[in-house]
Structure 1
Amino acid sequence: MSLELLTVAFFGALIFFLLLGLPLVFVLGGVSVVFLYFTWGPGAFFMVASQMWGSMGSFTLLAIPLFVFMAMVLERAGVAQSLYTMMHLWWGGVRGGLAIGTVGICAIFGAMCGISGAAVVTMGTIALPRMLERKYDKELALGCINAGGGFGILIPPSIIMILYSLITGTSVGKLFAAGVLPGLLLLVLISGYIAIRCRLQPHLGPALPPDERGTWSEKLVALRAVALPMLIVVMVLGSIMGGVATPTEAAALGVAGALFSAAVHRQLSWGMIREASLRTFRLTGMIVWILFAAHAFSSAYQGMGAQDLVQDLVSGIPGGPWATIILFQVVIFFMAMVLDPLGIMLITLPVFLPVVVAMGFDPVWFGILFIINMEIGYMTPPFGFNLFYLKGIVPPSIKMGDIYRSVVPYVAVMILAMAIVMVFPEIAIWLPGVLF
């Protein structure tokens, strides 16, 4: 069978079984192993197993269950409630201030825990009812929580970055450093959009009445709420970027900080630890299967020689390398509407990244573009995860259509941010260059 027909059969089988509704990880791994057998024979099984064994020995892999456990503990530690009280006092007097403060809290959560769902569920529970009580536009309020929740995979530490590193061989430390400035750029752009829109349309986010804004003494006392989150951020990010600890060691420090925060807020108990541990085991088990599928797919893809075929096809795209990068982002954007981010990583990275490197682009820079696109995918209809996280906790009066409509302007802002990082790659690669 020719390489072209083999490639068509391979990807056709993937699409066929996905349309049947089978789990993506098992489809990807199963189809890949079958094609490896018929391409290379029984010896292919040993190759996949040896690659998987090599990944299991990766010290970086230990960071994943640690960061997941830290997120599970922080979600129940009471940190978010204290942060919101502080934001309420400091930003409540500004038009749209509660929404801007909510986005800021999501950024702090992202810098602490590394996953998206924790911030969405927490802010949807704490911030959304208070914004609705104060006559905020529901779509503005829903959208800011959706957008802010995605910061967890871009602002380091990020579990998606660790998986990107394991699948592609890119330095996770450089990825963490590269995510800092793009994350701050997104925070500024989204906050600026809210501030400008509420300035032009004050009824969307009215300022709080003077009696709810608090005195200066209350505001200063409320700043204590930032101490513990900043301690965790410094422990995790400061230790990595200062060269004191590896990402895995920093994750262990983050777990210690999360447990300390839970103890300070009197939420630490054996029941909470047990529940957080069980959820961590479930997520970590799923990630191990994802890595197995990633290795099987990568081996099958390279074993068939499809990488050369894709590079030949890409070389014929008019407009040169930049047109190729834009095409890749468009493909990822539409895939993110129907697939989960981890599945998109498994399908696209073995195909796209060798082409990106061959064209002379920095894989760390491309990784940041990829992750911003995944962040958009978390909030893009019809199947963005954040949409369903939010739907599970909003009042019955808010329909799924309201949530879908709320994300449109925020998606536009994120696409603008991705375009800025694309045009000015130094935003992503300057800090890794300085630190590493």
Structure 2
Amino acid sequence: MSIETLTLLFFGSLLVFLLLGLPLAFVLGGVSIVFLYFTWGIESFYMVASQMWGSMNSFTLVAIPLFVLMAMILEKTGVAQDLYRMMHLWWGGVRGGLAIGTVAICTIFAAMVGISGAAVVTMGTIALPAMLARGYDKRLAIGCISAGGGLGILIPPSVLMILYSLITGVSVGKLFAAGVIPGIMLAVLLGLYIYLRCRIQPELGPALPPEERGDWIEKLRALRAVILPMLIVAMVLGSILFGLATPTEAAAVGVLGSLASAALHRQLAWPMVSESLLRTLRLTGMIIWILFAAHAFSAAYQGMGAQSFIEGLMAHIPGGKWGTIIFIQIVLFLLGMVLDPVGIMLITLPVFLPVVTALGFDPIWFGIMFIINMEIGYQTPPFGFNLFYLKGIVPQGITMGDIYRSVIPYTLVMIFGLILVMIFPALATWLPSKVM
């Protein structure tokens, strides 16, 4: 059977079973095992087991549950409430200031937790009611939380970057360094969009009345809320970027910092720790099973002769190597609308990355564009994760249609940021070259 026919059957089977609602890990692993058996025979299973064993021996893999645990603890400590109070005082007098402050808090949270959902749920609970009560347009308010929360997978530490490193073999420390400038740039672009939009349409984000803005003493006192998050960020990122610790060791330091934060906010109690550990176990278990299934997928498709087939296919895309990169970005964007980002990563990276490196592109630069695409995927209808997180916490009267429409302008801003990284690769490659 030709590789073209096998590819159609392989990906067609994956799509059919995913649309039927079966879990990604079982679909990815099950279909791959069936194709492996009929392509190479039962001996090929040893290759999958060998790859799984290699992953289980990866020290970097330990960072995933540690960063997830760190996020779960910080979500319950009260750090976000203090940060929001500070942003309320400092930015409330600016049109759209509460929305800009929300993006800023999401950026700080992103530098602490490494996942998207924590910031979305936390700020959706704290910031959204406050903005709606003060006359903010519901779409502006909802969209800024979804877009700001997505920064959690781009600004290091990032669980998706760790997975990218495991799959591709590139340095996770370099990926972390590469995500800093694009992450800050996207946060600035989002804040700039909100500011300009509210200057043109003041009714979308009215400035707070003078009595709610606080005096200078209150503002300066509120700055204490930033000290603890910045210490945690410095502990985690600083130790990685300056070579004092591996990402896994830095994740352990981050967990210690989150526990200290919980103690300072008088939230450190066994029920909170127990719930955080249980949620970490569930999320990490899901990630690991998907990772195992991805090894089976990679072995099956590579065994069919995927490498030469994909390279030959990409050679027919107009525009040369840049046309290929743009085509890959479009494919990733479309997949982000219907599939889980972890699944997209594990399905596409074994196919796309060899082509990208063969064309002479930097895998670190491509990795940052990949992560930005996954960030966009978290908020694009119909199946963006952030949209469903928000649906579970928005007040009555806000429909799923409102949530879908709220993310459109923010998605366009992120696509603009992606284009900037594509045009100016130094945005992603300069910092790793200097600090790593």
User: Which TM-score band applies after superposition, normalised by the shorter structure?
Assistant: over 0.9
Contact 1:155/1:176 (8 A) holds in 2: yes
1:18 is displaced (CA, Å) by 2.1
Contact 2:24/2:290 (8 A) holds in 1: no
How many pairs does the alignment contain?
A: 436
1:68 is displaced (CA, Å) by 0.3
1:388 is displaced (CA, Å) by 0.7
Match of 1:5 in 2: 5
Contact 1:167/1:294 (8 A) holds in 2: no
After TM superposition, list the pairs within 5 Å mapping 1:165-244 onto structure 2: 165-244=165-244
The unaligned stretches of length 5 or more in structure 1 are none
Aligned: 1:297 with 2:304: no
Contact 2:52/2:295 (8 A) holds in 1: yes
The unaligned stretches of length 5 or more in structure 2 are none
Give, in whole Å, the separation in 1 of the partners of 2:214 and 2:21. Answer: 53
Contact 2:379/2:387 (8 A) holds in 1: yes
* Deviation sequence 1:336-390 (CA, Å, 0-9, x none): 1111101111211111111001100011111110110111111111111101101
1:294 is displaced (CA, Å) by 1.2
Give, in whole Å, the separation in 2 of the partners of 1:212 and 1:19. Answer: 50
Give, in whole Å, the separation in 1 of the partners of 2:94 and 2:7. Answer: 56
Give, in whole Å, the separation in 1 of the partners of 2:370 and 2:4. Answer: 27
Aligned: 1:253 with 2:259: no
Quick one: which amino acid aligns to residue 140 of structure 1?
Answer: L
Match of 1:26 in 2: 26
Contact 1:109/1:119 (8 A) holds in 2: yes
Match of 2:16 in 1: 16
Give, in whole Å, the separation in 1 of the partners of 2:283 and 2:158. Answer: 14
Match of 2:49 in 1: 49
Secondary structure of the residue that 2:93 maps to in structure 1?
Answer: coil
Match of 1:376 in 2: 376
Provide the aligned C-alpha RMSD in A: 0.8
Give, in whole Å, the separation in 2 of the partners of 1:66 and 1:348. Answer: 26
1:4 is displaced (CA, Å) by 2.2
Contact 1:341/1:374 (8 A) holds in 2: yes
Match of 1:394 in 2: 394
Structure 1 runs of 4+ aligned residues shifted over 4 Å read: none
1:200 is displaced (CA, Å) by 1.0
* Deviation sequence 1:31-86 (CA, Å, 0-9, x none): 11111122222211111101100110000000000000000000000000000000
Give, in whole Å, the separation in 1 of the partners of 2:6 and 2:119. Answer: 43
Contact 1:89/1:212 (8 A) holds in 2: yes
* Deviation sequence 1:234-292 (CA, Å, 0-9, x none): 00000000100000000000000000000001111000000000001111111110111
Quick one: which amino acid aligns to residue 54 of structure 1?
Answer: G
Match of 2:164 in 1: 164
1:19 is displaced (CA, Å) by 2.7
Give, in whole Å, the separation in 2 of the partners of 1:78 and 1:219. Answer: 19
Quick one: which amino acid aligns to residue 273 of structure 1?
Answer: V
1:151 is displaced (CA, Å) by 0.6
Percentage identity across aligned positions? 75
Contact 1:65/1:284 (8 A) holds in 2: yes
Quick one: which amino acid aligns to residue 30 of structure 2?
Answer: G
Match of 2:333 in 1: 333
Give, in whole Å, the separation in 2 of the partners of 1:71 and 1:265. Answer: 16
1:335 is displaced (CA, Å) by 0.8
1:201 is displaced (CA, Å) by 1.0
Which has the higher mean CA deviation after the structures are superposed, 59-68 or 197-206?
A: 197-206
* Deviation sequence 1:293-316 (CA, Å, 0-9, x none): 111111111111111101001011
Which has the higher mean CA deviation after the structures are superposed, 11-20 or 252-261?
A: 11-20
Quick one: which amino acid aligns to residue 96 of structure 2?
Answer: G
Secondary structure of the residue that 2:223 maps to in structure 1?
Answer: helix
Give, in whole Å, the separation in 1 of the partners of 2:237 and 2:149. Answer: 19
Contact 2:147/2:410 (8 A) holds in 1: yes
Give, in whole Å, the separation in 2 of the partners of 1:315 and 1:8. Answer: 19
1:228 is displaced (CA, Å) by 0.5
